Structure 1
Amino acid sequence: MLFLHGFLGSSKDWQETALRLGGRFRTIAVDLPGHGASLGLPRECYTLEGAAREVLGLLDGLGVGRCMLCGYSMGGRLALYLALRHPGRFSALFLESATPGLEDPAEREARRRADEERARELERGDLEGFLQRWYRQPLFASLSRREGLIGGLVRSRLRNDPEELARALRGMGTGRQVSLWRALPALGMPALAVAGELDRKFAALAREMERLAPPLRAVVVPGAGHNVRLEQPGAYARLLCGFLEEGGLE
């Protein structure tokens, strides 16, 4: 099983999830370009396509011919890209708060400009201030319901390099991603798209993906927002394990 983290995260984000699987699977978690220890890479790596090449190269180096994908947010977008572009390498797809991108060019350009402004904020060097502002976005409002959760996230994210994060945001942000919506009907593997009930935007996106891609099923988790894994870890683990068992992947 290959785990792909979201923006600002790292491979360490998946430690608890991997433990909850009880050793039934070989698990691989990577640091995506600009995150954790994946620093100073060639410029072409800081794109969705470049990150996909890096992931495939890693799997080749480990002798993994085929595996399951599990991705959150930015990592979910990358997971979907890999599943659609390299279907022979992956057996199933588990998405958390993920999107196929923005289909409207004007909306994509507006998002690219917003990502560029955030990248410039990061380059000013005040990573803690950036993180505090990031987690005050409405998208993450439900995180404040659990005491200490945002503080813990900020402390863990401070291990990242802000200039590297800026490179990743410029190259891998939603504004730079080519839309995958039209490719969705070609998805040919078992897939589950999970979103939190309190994250109405991504819950709606999951249902729309379900409508367009018959192998994909959408599940909305009560009491969770954008980060289902942190806000409802038990429900998240049950969904992941249940998905694997239903798909005959054990």
Structure 2
Amino acid sequence: MSENYKFHYQLINHPNKPYIIFLHGFIGRLDEFDEVIKLLGTEFSYLTIDLPGHGKTQVFGGDKYYSIEQTAQALINLLNELHIPKCFLVGYSMGGRLTLYMTLHFPERFEKVILESASPGLATEQEQLERIKKDEQIARKLSRCISKDEFREFLLNWYNQPIFGSIKNHPAFDRMLASRLQNQPLELAKSLRIMGTGSQPALWHKLKDNTVPLLLLVGHNDEKFININTEIAIKCTVAKLEIISNSAHNIHLENTLEFVQHIQEFLAI
């Protein structure tokens, strides 16, 4: 394993069952998909990971190791160490961007891939620069969260964004918030600066060459990502788009049952 990472991960092995790797979104942790895994039960084996800047994972050697390129290679190294030569991959939001990057750069490692509320990055340099500026403002706010109360206030404002719909009214929101509060704001700020949407390389031009089957899941109330994923499906012939009812950006929390159903149907072998 790379000396630059000490990954915190959870491995659930059901003998002779294929592995699903779940990659969480920004401000998430490895418990992000616990309810999904409970419902999937013994159909699969599972690997969940705290991504750099999140949870208990530690990064050494400099900020560049928070980047999508370095993280992707480090995760492949982790799979090698765990003797997982091929698996399924599921990624949400930021984890979905990382998932797509890994799929396009290491296609031989993944049988099928599910992207939840994900994007291939921003297509133009101007869009990237504008997003980097916006993310820097958010990173500064995170860096000023000294107390738990300040961090909680940041999170409550974060989930007021239109893409999250009415998630704050969901019965599981408080539990999710409690998990998010276990992250470190300064580490999250690093992640946002270095692996944010503006900082990652655009992947749009690679979609046409992808041969790994993709399932694109987007929430019915997340218009921005419906548009992005409609475009992905047009450019990538092996991608299938499904719009999930009663949900916005965080489908696996808002409509867990339908999310699990789509995983089961798509990964059936």
TM-score under structure 1 normalisation? 0.95
Map Cα deviations across residues 97-147 of structure 1 (whole Å, 9 max, x no partner). 00001102111111101111111111112321211111111111221342x
Residue aligning to 1:75: 95
Q: 1:136 & 1:171 partners in 2: Cα distance?
A: 24
**2:146 corresponds to 1:122:** no
| Count of aligned pairs | 245
Q: How far did residue 31 of structure 1 move? A: 0.6
Map Cα deviations across residues 19-41 of structure 1 (whole Å, 9 max, x no partner). 22221211101110010111343
- 4+ runs deviating over 6 angstroms: none
Q: 1:190 & 1:149 partners in 2: Cα distance?
A: 31
Structure 2 gaps of 5+ residues are 1-19
Residue aligning to 1:6: 25
Structure 1 gaps of 5+ residues are none
Match of 2:262 among 229, 239, 243: 239
Contact 1:142–1:198 (Cα < 8 Å) also in 2? no
Q: 1:87 & 1:197 partners in 2: Cα distance?
A: 29
Match of 1:131 among 155, 159, 164: 155
Match of 1:209 among 228, 232, 240: 232
- Matched to 1:36, the amino acid is G
Q: 1:169 & 1:22 partners in 2: Cα distance?
A: 33
Q: 2:154 & 2:33 partners in 1: Cα distance?
A: 23
Residue aligning to 2:182: 159
**2:214 corresponds to 1:195:** no
Contact 2:165–2:221 (Cα < 8 Å) also in 1? no
- Matched to 2:50, the amino acid is D
Match of 2:64 among 19, 22, 44: 44
Q: 2:243 & 2:199 partners in 1: Cα distance?
A: 27
- Matched to 2:132, the amino acid is R
- Over the matched positions of the two proteins, sequence identity in percent amounts to 38
Q: 2:266 & 2:65 partners in 1: Cα distance?
A: 31
Matches within 5 A, 1:21-32: 21-32=40-51
- Structure 1 vs Structure 2 CA RMSD: 1.2
Q: 1:41 & 1:23 partners in 2: Cα distance?
A: 35
Q: 1:222 & 1:142 partners in 2: Cα distance?
A: 13
